[in-house]
Structure 1
Amino acid sequence: MAQDATGAHTGNIKNLGIDTVATTSDTTLNKVISAVNTIGNADGHNMIATNIMWTLIAGFLVMFMQAGFAMVETGFTQKKNVAHTMAMNFLVYGLGMFGFWVCGFAFMFGGGLNASTLGGAPDVIPHEYIVHMFGHDFGIIGSVGFFLNSKVYDVGVFTLFLFQMVFMDTTATIPTGSMAERWSMKSFIIYGLFISMFVYPIFGNWVWGGGWLSQLGINFKLGHGDVDFAGSSVVHMVGGVAALAGAICIGPRIGKYGKDGTVNTIPGHNIPMAIIGTFILAFGWFGFNPGSTLAGQDFRIGIVAVNTMMAGTAGTLAALLYMYAKGQKPDPGMLCNGMLAGLVAITAPCAFVNSISAVIIGAIAGLLVIFAYNFVDRKLKIDDPVGAFAVHGVNGAWGVISLGLFADGSYGDGWNGVSGTVKGLFYGDAGQLWAQLIGVIVCFVFVFVVMYAWFKLSNKIFPLRVKAEDEIAGLDIPEMGVHGYVD
């Protein structure tokens, strides 16, 4: 404010909606300043409260997706394994949450816990372990927040934990589909802890926690670094690649492949259950993608939601048209996978593309899931009962790459510390595509190598696979002690 000749303060008090120049005494001025501060504090409090409420509600939606996964996987598998398949999808929630609470969250976000939209956590001092190479710093892993201890006893940190925990749970549950109907429960239990404590958090740190992949833009001028808005790679590709490694290590179900090379279909027992589960997943995706704004006041939520819906729709229709073009019946299972593939693919670019691009991305995903499933199942002879790798692994990769192609520059100013909005190759930034490709390659190599080694090692502690006679009879009684269906 300025001062006039009498010593009184003058100023344009726009914060109070007064569009005239006011001359006031010091006492009056102090009252005005106090009122302005009160209004500002209330407005800031309401903004943070809105963001926290939105993020929590979105997290609750994502948590409900676990029911969708359980129904999809159980519906696509045999009746004799219902209790076992359902139990794995149920238990992975508790196992993953516990492991993420112990150290996963700290490894993933301990280097950057100051989420400004959730209050900033001003008393939390994050720390990231850094490796200095080639003249640049590479963030590797966080180290603050173990057991959500008193140092991170902050409402913003706890909100972020809940939201990220249910994302982690999505990753952890994906291999339960690829390894269904022959995975021993004890082996599964130690897997659930391992992926939630180490594999998912470490790669997640590199992309979302301020780690080295997110800094490819700052360090090497590659766009905005590896950008993944809601988890095509961090969540889905990590889970899909882990599912591939697990399916290879555990081997195919008895009777799946004949000695003469024939591929035998082992039909699921309840297609309606799988379809209902798919709808639950599609509903939960509105928490998954729009919720990743972490801000209820971010108007981009509407665009993210519509893009999510349209990509899933396009994936369904592309799968339908392909089957008709090949003279086939519209297999409900493949229609479900077409929708899920579209949703997985749009998860990374959903905030950065327009609706036409979202439809294109989803349609390509709907075709990719069919090609990938047939290649893995018939050519590679890898038994993946629900198509987990085709849906989540292949289309997780496609989603990340598609961002590097279709991001239109309408959003993302300052993303990963790089000025300007996010643009893909088709809008003038080839560097962004290179960053996305690097992210995909790193994700596949890191996750596959670590998970393959882990499955081989853990097999020596608790066998991955159940006994052949138990697999033939069904796993409900031998592994769980109860039948899924009593008939």
Structure 2
Amino acid sequence: MDINQLSQGLDTIWVVLTAAMILLMEGGFALLEAGFVRQKNAVSIIMKVFVDIAFGALVFYLIGFGLMYGKDAGGLIGTSGFMLGGGLGHIELSITHETYWLFQCAFVIAVISIVSGAVAERINFRAYILYTIAMTGLIYPIAGHWIWSTGGWLGKLGMIDFAGSAAIHGLGGFAALAAALFIGPRIGKFSADGRPNIVPPSNLPLASVGAFVLWFGWFGFNSGSTLSATNGSIGHIAVTTMLSAAAGGAACILFTMFRYHKADPPMVINGSLAGLVGITAGCAFVSDVAAILIGAVCGIVMVLVTELLEARGVDDPVGAFAVHGVSGSLGTLAVGLFATKELASETGQGYYGLFYGGGWQLLGVQALGLAVVCVWGFAVTWLFLKGINRIVKVRVSRDEELVGLDVGIHGVPAYSQEHDFIEVHEFRKDVKG
């Protein structure tokens, strides 16, 4: 075996393992969201995660990957590589196209999982399946093509989004905001005068374990984006990822102690995630100190945006927009400020940040790309939901929402006891009748 074969083998193992780490994040999403929602809707969360994985993988294989990484047409869309059927020779990597698809498949599953939390406890399961097909087959792949593909117009302009603060989290976060606005708040979330009511999480320990699983998977998310086991920046990427997440959590602890006179557990959980989201674009390009600053800012702004959304009557049960949309936006812009000349040159980027003498060009490109991707995610999600609503109602009925989606939609509660099975049996008879 020569050195090239050995390197290719190592790269393949690295990419497959990090893809598996990212896929494990779906377990994190499931635990986090199930812990944040009420007990009567925990099963519905798990079922949506299975939709994300099952339908997301199949649709991305059939359509999405080709639209995202196929031969470029005008910088806007890919036109080859559907079902990995050829026309992918322009992708020059040390790994096979199948291996690359697997890694990118884990990414697309993460995107749709962001939206699922914002519509928790009131979305129709059939409508969610249709939207998942739209997101994984069209919305995300086209935006991803603009940034990451060979020939994508934003990539040509010099946009830097190493692991997806904009392409994944900004897009997913603004799509989540559109979905939350379209579907409306949960029954009882806001009083008649518009004041928000507290809907207590069902299981904060469960949610915290979900956050830790996501934190673990994020090392695959960011470090795996090198696509090479021998890339010298892997260690630095892992360190900036860790520091930003820690800073987000620490900032939330201190800020909520100051603001509420007690550390707020859900905010702290989301603060760490906000730090992870914020560093995703620039993890390979910024210094350790910048990573701490980015994480801290994202954590604090997440708290303020969560409060603002509630004040405006927007119901986002898990904070998807504040964590992903806002922190993803801040992280994308932060690259234009903090990308160092040394790190940018080491990773083959010609542009670097304003604070390091790089001028305004990179920041301007980052702002343009961010705006385009976020508007695309919001607008197309809204249009698809309007279209889906003509086929099947996007929101469940009032009775289904009140009884809970677990029994109302799926016919089984998350936490069962003997008498519960009698109730479910009777419910199923009623439904069939």
TM-score normalised by L of structure 1 = 0.82
> Could you tell me how far apart the structure 2 residues matched to 1:422 and 1:287 are?
25
Counterpart for residue 429 of structure 2:
none
Structural mapping, 1:443-458, within 5 Å: 443-458=373-388
Q: Secondary structure at the match of 2:77?
A: strand
Q: Which blocks of at least 5 consecutive residues in structure 2 are unaligned?
A: 418-433
Which of 237, 251, 256 is the matching residue for 1:318?
251
> Separation in 2 of the partners of 1:387 and 1:326?
18
**1:133-172: CA deviation from partner (whole Å, max 9, x where unpaired):** xxxxxx1111111112256699610111000000111001
Q: 1:145-294 residue pairs with structure 2 within 5 A?
A: 145-149=81-85, 156-210=96-150, 211-216=152-157, 225-294=158-227
AA of the residue aligned to 2:205: P
The equivalent residue for 2:423 is none
**Normalized per residue, which structure has more helix?**
2
Q: State the Cα deviation string for residues 388-445 of structure 1 (Å, max 9, x = none).
A: 0000000100110000000011223386xxx764410101122010010001110111
What is the rounded CA distance, in whole Å, between the counterparts of 1:100 and 1:412 in structure 2?
31
- Between the aligned partners of 2:77 and 2:87, the Cα distance in structure 1 is 18
Cα distance in 2 for partners of 1:420, 1:252 equals 43
Residue 324 of structure 2 corresponds to residue 392 of structure 1? yes
1:420, 1:195 → 2: CA distance?
29
Displacement of 1:271: 0.3
CA contact (8 A) 1:105 1:145 kept: yes
How many angstroms apart in 2 are the aligned matches of 1:96 and 1:410? 38
Query: For the residues of structure 2 that align with 1:333 and 1:287, how far apart are their CA atoms?
Result: 24
Alignment of 1:15-414 (within 5 A): 42-110=2-70, 127-130=71-74, 139-149=75-85, 156-210=96-150, 211-216=152-157, 225-378=158-311, 380-413=312-345
The alpha-carbon deviation at position 90 of structure 1 amounts to 1.8
**Residues of 2 paired with 1:65 and 1:282: CA distance?**
8
Counterpart of 1:19 in structure 2 is: none
Q: Structure 1 CA distance, aligned partners of 2:80 and 2:3? A: 30
- Which of structures 1 and 2 has the bigger CA Rg? 1
Does the 8 Å CA contact 1:411/1:421 hold for their aligned counterparts?
no
1:136 match: none
* Distance in 2 of aligned mates of 1:422 and 1:59: 29
Q: Please report how far the alpha carbon of residue 327 of structure 1 lies from its aligned counterpart in structure 2 after TM superposition.
A: 4.0
Q: What secondary structure sits across from 1:412 in the alignment? A: helix
Offset from partner CA, 1:244-272 (integer Å, 9 cap, x none): 00000000000001111211011110000
Contact 1:410 1:421 in 2 (8 A): no
Alpha-carbon distance in structure 1 between the residues aligned to 2:88 and 2:145: 18
Q: Is the 8 A contact 2:337 2:353 kept in 1?
A: yes
- CA change 1:406–1:151 in 2 (3 A) is closer
SS at match of 2:161: coil
Following the alignment from structure 1 to structure 2, what is the Cα–Cα distance between the partners of residues 308 and 297?
A: 19
Query: Contact conserved, 2:162 with 2:281, CA < 8 A, in 1?
Result: yes
How far does the alpha carbon of each residue in 1:317-341 deviate from its partner, in whole angstroms, 9 at most, with x for none? 1011111112432111110000000
Distance 1:260 1:382, change over 3 A: same
Query: Residues 359-414 of structure 1: CA distance to partner in whole angstroms, max 9, x if unpaired?
Result: 00000011011011111112x21100000000000010011000000001122338
Q: CA deviation at 1:481?
A: 1.6
- The equivalent of 2:402 in structure 1 is 472
- CA displacement 1:216-269 (0-9 Å, x = unmatched): 1xxxxxxxx111000101111111111000000000000001111211011110
User: What do residues 164-195 of structure 1 show as CA deviations (whole Å, max 9, x unaligned)?
Assistant: 00011100111110000000100000011110
Measured in 1, the distance between the counterparts of 2:346 and 2:79 equals: 25
Letter in 1 for 2:230: Q
CA contact (8 A) 1:175 1:246 kept: yes
The runs of 5 or more residues in structure 1 that have no matched partner are 1-40, 111-126, 131-138, 217-224
Report how many aligned residue pairs link the two structures. Answer: 411
**Contact 1:174/1:388 (8 A) holds in 2:** yes
Give 1:476 shift: 0.9
Work out the CA distance in 1 between the residues paired with 2:65 and 2:14. 20
Are 2:40 and 2:407, in contact at CA under 8 Å, matched by a contact in 1? no
The answer to whether the Cα contact below 8 Å between 1:411 and 1:422 also exists between their aligned partners in 2 is no
Q: 1:169 to 1:356 in 2, by over 3 A?
A: same
Classify the secondary structure of the residue corresponding to 1:381: coil
Q: Do the aligned partners of 1:238 and 1:444 also contact (CA within 8 Å) in 2?
A: yes
1: CA distance between counterparts of 2:354 and 2:37?
Answer: 41
Is 1:428 the counterpart of 2:369? The answer is: no
Check whether the contact 1:314–1:362 (CA below 8 A) recurs between aligned residues. Answer: yes
C-alpha contact (below 8 Å) 1:75/1:269 kept by paired residues? yes
* Cα RMSD (Å): 1.5
Letter in 2 for 1:63: L
Offset of 1:478 from its aligned partner?
1.9
Amino acid at match of 1:214: G
The letter for the 1-side match of 2:62 is V
2:420 maps to none
Q: In 2, Cα distance between the equivalents of 1:42 and 1:302?
A: 26
Aligned identity (percent) is: 39
